[in-house]
């Protein structure tokens, strides 16, 4: 057996996969301190099953995974593969070359392989036992190992010699056999205890067994009684089934008759619904007509009220006009009296004027002497004459205005009387038409009420028919359930 090569990937300082081949002779690894020479020995010990992180110069097992550097990122897996030549079959495997692989993830999961097949750590330890190889064997001597052998206890040195002599394998097997013997002895003691406990339960179990046998016998008897009882019940159920089937036939006949009646009633119901629709349409049209008539009545009532107000107002205006007419007549009489007086005064003044003219002619001779006084008298008389003429024209204008206003008032009064008569005629016609429409609406409402009563009576009859049909369905379902029970019991 010879170490052929070792593949290291992600273990401590080996960031990338590194392969070290061991040829015949001595292979030496030379390098300065800190270059990773010891990491190769620790990788061999680790792949052979080393479980102590301190012996691998770490605080915990994840410390052996490459943690990264300034120029490289950390890796998540450490893997070491040890390849041994086994042409002489020194290792108990039927292979000329044996590869042992150990893989550790940063999550803490470990994987072991022998010739790329998954295995256990125990399988690897058993493979190297008594072969001179292993994690504690002296085929791998690290720094300070020789000194620790010389300073160790005699028992520890004896274990080293036993391993070198090939006795350790058998001693470990002996320890395992002794351990198994102790375990079997403990199991036998436990069996004795269980037997001792079960001996005290034998008598009660015998009593319980006799009771169980009696129970089984009585159960068989009960079964026979139940079978006979079910046979009797089956006969009774068959009789009831025959009676129920006869009743079902009768009910089916009644149901057919009821169905025919229900079909007739449904046809009548459809006719009634159609009639109801027509009546509802007619009632809606009559209702619309009634609403229109009511609206017209309201409009006419409004017009009537307006005309009443106008009539009242015209009456008041008429009374006021009569009063004003009387007043105007009094004023006309007064003005005519004044006009007559003014005319009399005018004639008197004219006479005075003539007299004055005569007087003027007579005193022409004295004109020269009294020229200034004469001029003043003429101006005074002329001014009085102008005032009398102005009063006469104003009185004539007032008389014509009063005559025109009296004629206009008479025309307005005649027009208001004619419009009042026409409105009264329209109101009378609308009241007559509304009365006719209300009588027609009452007749239609009475017909609708009669049809609704007929519809309700037929609907109640239809509900009673449906209840009877549902009752028959329930009875038929009960018959089906009874027949199913009988069939189940017959099959049982």
- pLDDT computed for residue 154 by the predictor: 80
Find out whether 145 and 106 touch, Cβ atoms under 8 Å.
no
- pLDDT computed for residue 477 by the predictor: 66
Which residues does 459 contact at the CB level (< 8 Å), separation at least 6? 269
Find out whether 143 and 39 touch, Cβ atoms under 8 Å.
no
| Direct distance between the N- and C-terminal alpha carbons of the chain, in angstroms, rounded to an integer | 78
Tens of pLDDT, residue by residue over 82-93, are 998 888 878 878
- pLDDT computed for residue 81 by the predictor: 94
Find out whether 178 and 184 touch, Cβ atoms under 8 Å.
no
Is the backbone of residue 73 left (phi > 0), alpha (psi -120 to 50) or beta? beta
Share of the chain above pLDDT 70, in %: 64
Question: β-strands 97-105, 117-119: how paired?
Answer: unpaired
Least confident of 93-107, 290-304, 320-334: 320-334
Q: Which residues pair with 84 in a beta bridge?
A: 3, 98
Measured between alpha carbons, how far is 49 from 102 in angstroms, rounded to an integer?
A: 8
pTM of the model: 0.36
Tokens of 473: 């369905």
Tens of pLDDT, residue by residue over 262-274, are 888 888 888 888 8
Tens of pLDDT, residue by residue over 273-285, are 888 888 778 777 7
Averaged pLDDT score across all residues of the chain: 76
Q: Which residues pair with 8 in a beta bridge?
A: 18, 80
Tens of pLDDT, residue by residue over 440-488, are 666 656 766 676 676 667 667 667 766 766 666 666 666 666 566 666 6
Measured between alpha carbons, how far is 304 from 311 in angstroms, rounded to an integer?
A: 10
Find out whether 279 and 446 touch, Cβ atoms under 8 Å.
no
Tens of pLDDT, residue by residue over 376-425, are 555 655 665 566 566 656 656 665 665 666 566 566 655 655 655 665 56
Find out whether 143 and 57 touch, Cβ atoms under 8 Å.
no
Residue 370 has pLDDT above 50, yes or no: no
Tens of pLDDT, residue by residue over 337-363, are 776 776 676 677 667 667 766 656 665
Tens of pLDDT, residue by residue over 167-195, are 666 777 788 899 999 999 999 999 988 88
Measured between alpha carbons, how far is 73 from 69 in angstroms, rounded to an integer?
A: 7
- Secondary structure (3-state) at 5: strand
- pLDDT computed for residue 50 by the predictor: 83
């Amino acid at each position: 057996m010879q170490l052929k090569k070792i593949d290291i990937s992600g273990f401590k300082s080996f960031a990338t996969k590194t392969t070290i081949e061991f040829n015949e002779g001595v292979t030496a690894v030379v390098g300065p301190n800190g270059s990773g020479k010891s990491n190769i020995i620790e990788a061999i010990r680790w792949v052979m099953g080393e479980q102590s992180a301190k012996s691998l110069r770490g605080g915990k097992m994840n410390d052996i995974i490459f943690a990264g550097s300034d120029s490289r990122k950390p890796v998540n897996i450490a893997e070491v593969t040890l390849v041994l030549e086994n042409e002489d079959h020194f290792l108990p495997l039927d292979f000329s070359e044996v590869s042992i692989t150990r893989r550790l993830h940063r999550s803490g999961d470990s994987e072991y392989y022998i010739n790329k097949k998954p295995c256990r750590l125990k399988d690897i330890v058993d493979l190297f036992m008594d072969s001179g190889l292993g994690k504690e064997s002296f085929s791998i001597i690290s720094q300070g190992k020789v000194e620790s052998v010389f300073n160790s206890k005699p028992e520890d040195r004896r274990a080293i010699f036993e391993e070198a002599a090939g006795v350790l394998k058998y001693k470990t097997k002996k320890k395992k056999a002794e351990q198994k013997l102790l375990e079997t002895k403990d199991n036998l003691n436990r069996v004795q205890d269980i037997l001792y406990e079960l001996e005290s339960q034998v008598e009660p179990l015998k009593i319980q067994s006799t009771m169980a046998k009696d129970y089984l016998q009585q159960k068989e008897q009960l079964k026979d009684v139940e079978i006979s009882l079910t046979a009797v019940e089956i006969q009774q159920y068959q009789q009831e089934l025959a009676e129920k089937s006869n009743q079902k036939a009768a009910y089916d006949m009644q149901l057919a008759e009821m169905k025919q009646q229900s079909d007739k009633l449904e046809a009548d119901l459809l006719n009634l619904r159609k009639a109801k629709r027509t009546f509802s349409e007619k009632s809606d049209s009559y209702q619309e007509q009634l609403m229109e008539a009511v609206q017209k009545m309201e409009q006419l009532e409004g017009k009537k009220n307006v005309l009443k107000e106008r009539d009242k107002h015209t009456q008041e205006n008429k009374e006021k006009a009569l009063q004003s007419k009387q007043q105007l007549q009094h004023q006309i009489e007064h003005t005519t009296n004044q006009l007559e007086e003014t005319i009399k005064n005018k004639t008197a003044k004219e006479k005075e004027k003539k007299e004055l003219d005569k007087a003027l002619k007579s005193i022409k001779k004295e004109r020269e002497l009294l020229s200034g006084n004469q001029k003043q008298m003429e101006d005074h008389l002329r001014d009085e004459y102008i005032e009398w003429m102005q009063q006469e024209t104003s009185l004539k204008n007032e008389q014509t205005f009063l005559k025109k206003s009296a004629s206009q008032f008479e025309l307005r009064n005649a027009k208001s009387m004619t419009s009042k008569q026409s409105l009264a005629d329209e109101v009378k016609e609308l009241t007559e038409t509304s009365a006719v429409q209300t009588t027609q609406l009452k007749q239609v409402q009475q017909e609708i009420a009669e049809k609704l009563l007929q519809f309700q009576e037929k609907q109640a009859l239809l509900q009673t028919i449906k209840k009877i049909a549902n009752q028959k369905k329930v009875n038929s379902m009960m018959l089906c359930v009874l027949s199913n029970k009988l069939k189940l019991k017959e099959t049982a």
